[in-house]
A and B are shown apart, each in its own frame.
Chain A
């Protein structure tokens, strides 16, 4: 097996292992689904049948996505540290392959969150969606960026053993630019006037953020992961 194919094998093995464990234990999925559903149901009661303005709906959607993501995704490394398996993984796998495997797992999980939370949000808030493909593009780009940020924050927090408090302190400044971009892009995607929409700025910005965060994490991850 060549070095590159072994690297991909390792990354997919880490991702498959996490998905299998999650399928059996449902720890992250429970946290994520519980948060998204309860917050959206509360929103539904608060609206009491009224429509939500586009300007308000975009930030609300990303508040739900952000908290849902960080309540579940960031624990991928905490679980390894708590169970003593991070050292077992360190011995057997390339650090960057571990990072990529965890990123894939977080992307899979966040896709599930988006599939549940976004349609539910649209039904409850009754926001009209003039161009569904624009919203799909923004949510996909934003999910990719959010998964990148959550994966890197997760390993720093797990290694620092700061857990809850540190997670907010580290995570919020890291994702603030992403949240602002995602909110603006969602507002534009929901705007019936097609002039408001600029794919390169709205979706490209989110993908660029996710790629930059992924690239920086890819380079920095081995140093954080190896710090015992």
Chain B
């Protein structure tokens, strides 16, 4: 398997505090191209927060996240084009269809997706038959499939998956597995969750212990 070793993520003593509560403290870890890192921990231990910090959506209280692409250090804004993310709190537009979502996010990423290309991507995540329906008519599992499609449409170097199996059936779980396999050839994957099936996909595991008051 040919691995593109051009992207890496390093967490250096990353801490996060909400009000008076320390969510996690001095987290250190690193992940290189071709690897999958799992972030495990009980509810409230800060898994989703850490994923958002890595995506550059939140600033850590202390420490930093270093993302390097082709040896170049990227700031939070410049790392976003490399990132694809799936998370339960990433919203979708209820009145837009699946196809329209793919075309919108492709355009925002600087890509042109015709109906056919967008349809192929939706077929890959199992939404071919419902691709023209508005998202408000989708089940939670179908929304998760659409989030997966929107996350990988620009072939991201860094794939951040927060509870990727959430609401998915067996075929949906297979879709996630195949996307992670593909991502191993492209860059790095971080999976946050509690489901042992999700965590088993990773090569390494980072365990968060939960609130320390």
A residues bordering B, Cβ < 8 Å?
1, 6, 9-10, 13-14, 17, 20-21, 24-25, 80, 83-93, 95, 228
User: Quick check: B108 and A87 within 8 Å, CB to CB?
Assistant: no
Asked if B91 and A84 make an inter-chain contact with CB atoms under 8 angstroms apart, the answer reads yes
**Bound-state Cα–Cα, A138 to B87, Å:** 47
Bound: A173/B77 CA distance, A: 32
Are A91 and B55 CB-contacts (below 8 A) given A13-B107, A13-B108, A17-B104?
yes
- Report Cα–Cα, A30/B91, bound state, in Å: 24
Indicate if the CB atoms of B94 and A92 lie closer than 8 Å.
no
Number of interface residues of B (CB under 8 A): 25
The contact of A85 among B58, B93, B100, by CB within 8 Å, is: B93
B81 nearest CB neighbor, chain A only: A92
Once the chains bind, are A87 and B89 in contact (CB under 8 Å)?
yes
**Which of A17, A21, A88, A228 meets B90, CB within 8 Å?**
A88
In the assembled complex, which residues on chain A have CB atoms less than 8 Å from the CB atom of B80?
90-92
Flag if B96 contacts A20 (CB, 8 Å).
yes
**Pairwise interchain contact A9-B110, C-beta atoms closer than 8 A:** yes
Picked from A1, A24, A89, A228, the residue with its CB within 8 Å of the CB of B110 is: A1
Q: Assess whether A83 is in contact with B108, with CB atoms less than 8 Å apart.
A: no
Complex partner residue of B108 from A24, A93, A228, CB under 8 angstroms? A93
B105 within 8 A of A: yes
Residue interface bits B57-80, CB-to-A below 8 A is 1, else 0: 110000000000000000001001
With A and B bound together, what is the CA distance between A26 and B32 in angstroms?
Answer: 47
| B108 and A92 form a contact (CB under 8 A) | yes
5 contacts between A and B (CB under 8 A): A10-B108, A10-B110, A83-B91, A84-B91, A87-B90
Find chain B residues with CB under 8 A from A95 CB: 77
A51 vs B2: C-alpha distance when bound (angstroms)? 81
User: A6 — nearest CB in chain B belongs to which residue?
Assistant: B110
- Choose among B55, B95, B107 the residue that contacts A21 (Cβ–Cβ < 8 A): B95
Distance in angstroms between the alpha carbons of A141 and B203 in the assembled complex: 60
Q: A-facing mask of B40-54, CB < 8 A → 1, else 0? A: 000000000000100
Assess whether B109 is interfacial by the CB under 8 Å rule: yes
Give the residues in chain A near B85, CB-CB below 8 Å: 91
Name the distance in Å between A9's Cβ and chain B's nearest Cβ. Answer: 6
| Contact mask for chain B residues 127-163; partner A; CB cutoff 8 A; 1 contact, 0 none | 0000000000000000000000010000000000000
In whole angstroms, how far apart are the Cα atoms of A86 and B55 in the complex? Answer: 14
- Closest chain B CB from A29 CB (angstroms): 14
Residues of chain A within 8 A (CB-CB) of B104 are: 13, 17
On chain B, the residues within 8 Å of A1 by CB distance are: 110
Do the beta carbons of A25 and B95 come within 8 Å of each other?
A: yes
Q: How far is the CA of A175 from the CA of B104 in the complex (A)?
A: 33
A88 neighbours in B (Cβ, 8 Å): 90-92, 150
Residues in A with CB closer than 8 Å to B176 are none
Add 9 more A-B contacts to A80-B91, A90-B80, A95-B77 (CB < 8 A): A9-B108, A17-B104, A85-B92, A87-B89, A89-B108, A91-B55, A91-B80, A93-B108, A228-B52
Kindly state the separation between the CA atoms of A90 and B91 in the bound complex, as whole angstroms.
12
Contacts of A228 in B (CB 8 A): 52, 57-58
Which chain A residue has the least Cβ–Cβ distance from B104? A17
Query: Who on chain A is nearest to B100 by CB?
Result: A20
Q: Which residues of B contact A24 (CB under 8 A)?
A: 95
CB contacts (< 8 Å) of B95 on chain A: these are: 20-21, 24-25
Measured between alpha carbons, how far is A101 from B100 in the docked complex, in Å?
17
Given the contacts A92-B108, A228-B58, A83 and B94 also touching, CB distance less than 8 Å: yes
Task: Determine the chain B residues whose CB is within 8 A of the CB of A87 once the complex forms.
Answer: 57, 87, 89-91
